Structure 1
Amino acid sequence: MGHPAATRGPVRVVGTGLLGASVGMALRAGGVDVVLADPSRTTVLLARDVGAGRLPAPDDGEPLLVVVAAPPDVTADVVLAELAANPHAVVTDVASVKSAVLDAVRAGGGDLRRYVGSHPMAGSERSGPTAARPDLFVGRPWVVAGNRESTPEAVLTVRTLATDVGATPVLLDARVHDDAVALVSHVPQIAASLVAARLRSADPAALDLAGQGLRDVTRIAASDPALWTSILAANAGAVGPVLRALRDDLDTIVAALEQADEAAHAEQVAGGALGAIAGAIAAGNAGVARIPGKHGGARRAYDVVTVLVPDQPGELARLLGDMGTAGINLEELAIEHAPAQAVGLAALSVLRGLGGRLEHELTARGWRVAG
């Protein structure tokens, strides 16, 4: 970021919410001329004011690249309109579902030679241009889903766009992409929302006991309902089978718990019930172990040192500075707020074998290490 972009302007960004405005900001940082468009006058003016680009001018020529950042349910219509209005431009979109858009563009007679679907695997619970950041895509995968008619030049244009905004291009077929995001993005959103929905009628005393585990599971449940309804409807064919498999697993656990409960009252061990429960937890362990770790490499086990950090300005920075002074690299950081106390619990992950040394170094500098 900050270096001259290889993407040639002008680039037209249609849809100036979080993703569209972030694309514009990132390209502008590389010196690219970005022209903004959005059905909402207020939204496009906000995007201009946060530095995502400029408004169209009467003497503007045809853009070389169009980035469509519209909601999934209207993405195909916008792509078709932009292909027709800009007969020499490459058109891409950043919708999180690719097959439905491709099928609709093909059915609508769009020029598929100049259309390359794409999807940056980045986002936020916040929405709109005021949430946009020029570094939103840095280090994140950006799927480039060219179709069989896409020209090599069009695919290269979209790959270059991804690289210029700091992302890592990943070439995938549209259907493979949709199956993948159903598993790693769409079903987790549903699961988080369903768990969070159980909290609506919870006793406030129970919520006072909430720890980081609940916050981790429900973090994405704060997402936009209208946007996610559009996404899930567009990818229903891929999401459905994963949800059915998840439902079968839940049914197995429910049955095992019922057996365990009956056995407890009968004072005897339920045959197979405990094994089913343990098996589900163990399968989760195996699944988590497959999630890529730091820098995309294999997930590693770390020593974790938990430190009490006063909830005051500069204290976390001081803690990390003391770690640096001790010559120990931070691999991962998680922060949990202690209930009803003005302190946070900072879980510092370091390479195996360094936990004892870090605990000694921090204690010597006056930090309280949790046991």
Structure 2
Amino acid sequence: MRSALVIGTGLIGTSVALALAGRGVRVHLTDRDTDRVRTAASLGAGTDRPPEGPVDLAVVAVPPAHIPAAVAEVQRRGAARGCIDVGSVKGGPRREAEALGCDLTTYLGTHPMAGKETTGPLAAGADLFEGRPWVLTPTAGTDTEVLNLALELVALCRAVPVVMDADAHDRAVALVSHTPQLVSSLVAARLETADETAVRLCGQGIRDVTRIAASDPAMWIDILSANPGPVADVLAAVADDLAETVRALRALQSADDVKRTGGAAGIEDVLRRGNSGRARVPGKHGQAPAAYETVAVLIGDRPGELARIFADAGRAGVNIEDVRIEHATGQQAGHVQLMVEPDAAPVLAAALRERGWAIRQQ
């Protein structure tokens, strides 16, 4: 691939452009918002000048509702040998593109499974897709050249290609992406009118659950409007579980021992099912999640503290598998939770204590 046209310079489009430009591809940028194009170009994502002729690949990075029209325009102008989109919904846009008369042999729907709570070109990065799944939804009629260009794009972005049926993809993202966004927002919405004393008690659990609730509502309205049925199906199942859980909790308030026992069993059931589901979430390198031990270390809110603790872990010969920071409310301190292999935990704890770190018992 020598040249590309990126249509849409938001987070995803600009990140694609940065990755391609950084690997020697000549990238042309376009967007209805000229300020975003200029910003993306200033970041080194490409040029805002139109290409002089057809490019190798056009990348449509616009909201799902606008994908079909954008693909049709690319094909009408003969702007590229092949065209892909990077939207988060696949089945509906492809059917609408077909209804508009688009040539589906030179168009391929794709979806990089990466993103942030923040949007726009300033949030973009060339490394956004590294190691992340990138779904491709070819059909029997997809031109081999276009599929190869898409695979080359995925490789240049250092992502991992995953081939799926378009409608299966939409059902999958309804479960693992779209529903979690709504559930996170529903929980966060309880905080809007909560008493200030309750909000001050927020810890890492509520931060984890509500992190993605900071996402742009307008962006999510576009996404959910393109995939409402599958998301509603998942939420309906969640609603059934919620209703059962509410009944179980009410039973725990009963003076009747039998009802309380039944309520406890209901709560245990949903918690154990949650354990089983969480255990299926892929861990490091896409493998089954490992049972890591956590070494929690008290750190001050000062420059260089994290670098120092990582350096001390390295001197101890311990590989940090994952890390989390738990901030202390109202204090210039917190705990960094270092996840390591179980047999490495006592080694790391002893080494850090020796170097003066305060270890919190788990």
- Kept in 2, the 8 Å contact 1:63–1:86? The answer is no
Q: Does 1:158 align with 2:160?
A: no
Superposed, 1:1-371 pairs within 5 Å as 8-57=1-50, 60-86=52-78, 89-263=81-255, 269-371=259-361
Q: CA deviation at 1:286?
A: 0.5
- Kept in 1, the 8 Å contact 2:58–2:80? The answer is no
Determine the C-alpha separation between the residues in 2 that align with 1:200 and 1:322.
Answer: 41
Q: Residue type matched to 1:158 in 2?
A: A
Q: CA deviation at 1:293?
A: 0.8
- Kept in 2, the 8 Å contact 1:115–1:150? The answer is yes
Structure 2 CA distance for partners of 1:87 and 1:54, relative to 1, 3 Å: closer
- Kept in 1, the 8 Å contact 2:188–2:210? The answer is yes
Runs of 4+ in 1 over 4 A off after TM superposition: 266-269
**CA deviation vs aligned residue, 1:224-251 (integer Å, no higher than 9, x gap):** 1011011111111211111110000000
Aligned residues: 361
- Kept in 2, the 8 Å contact 1:26–1:134? The answer is yes
Q: CA deviation at 1:74?
A: 1.0
Q: Residue type matched to 2:330 in 1?
A: A
**CA deviation vs aligned residue, 1:183-203 (integer Å, no higher than 9, x gap):** 110000010000000000111
- Kept in 2, the 8 Å contact 1:35–1:53? The answer is yes
For the aligned residues, what is the CA RMSD?
1.2
1:345 aligned counterpart, secondary structure:
strand
**CA deviation vs aligned residue, 1:256-305 (integer Å, no higher than 9, x gap):** 11111123xx5775241110001100100001100011111111101111
Determine the C-alpha separation between the residues in 2 that align with 1:146 and 1:269.
Answer: 53
Determine the C-alpha separation between the residues in 2 that align with 1:296 and 1:18.
Answer: 24
* TM-score, normalised with respect to structure 2: 0.97
Q: Residue type matched to 1:248 in 2?
A: D
1:292 aligned counterpart, secondary structure:
coil
Determine the C-alpha separation between the residues in 1 that align with 2:321 and 2:40.
Answer: 35
Determine the C-alpha separation between the residues in 2 that align with 1:170 and 1:11.
Answer: 22
Q: Residue type matched to 2:35 in 1?
A: T
* TM-score, normalised with respect to structure 1: 0.95
- Kept in 1, the 8 Å contact 2:74–2:80? The answer is no
Q: Residue type matched to 2:168 in 1?
A: V
Determine the C-alpha separation between the residues in 2 that align with 1:162 and 1:88.
Answer: 18
Q: Residue type matched to 2:234 in 1?
A: V
Q: Residue type matched to 1:49 in 2?
A: S
**CA deviation vs aligned residue, 1:44-90 (integer Å, no higher than 9, x gap):** 11111111100224x71111110000011211111111121126520
- Kept in 2, the 8 Å contact 1:11–1:66? The answer is yes
**CA deviation vs aligned residue, 1:309-339 (integer Å, no higher than 9, x gap):** 1110001110010000000110110101012
2:29 aligned counterpart, secondary structure:
strand
- Kept in 2, the 8 Å contact 1:211–1:336? The answer is yes
- Kept in 2, the 8 Å contact 1:330–1:350? The answer is yes
- Kept in 2, the 8 Å contact 1:63–1:89? The answer is yes
Q: Residue type matched to 2:310 in 1?
A: L
Q: Give the unaligned 5+ runs of structure 2.
A: none
1:52 aligned counterpart, secondary structure:
coil
1:76 aligned counterpart, secondary structure:
helix
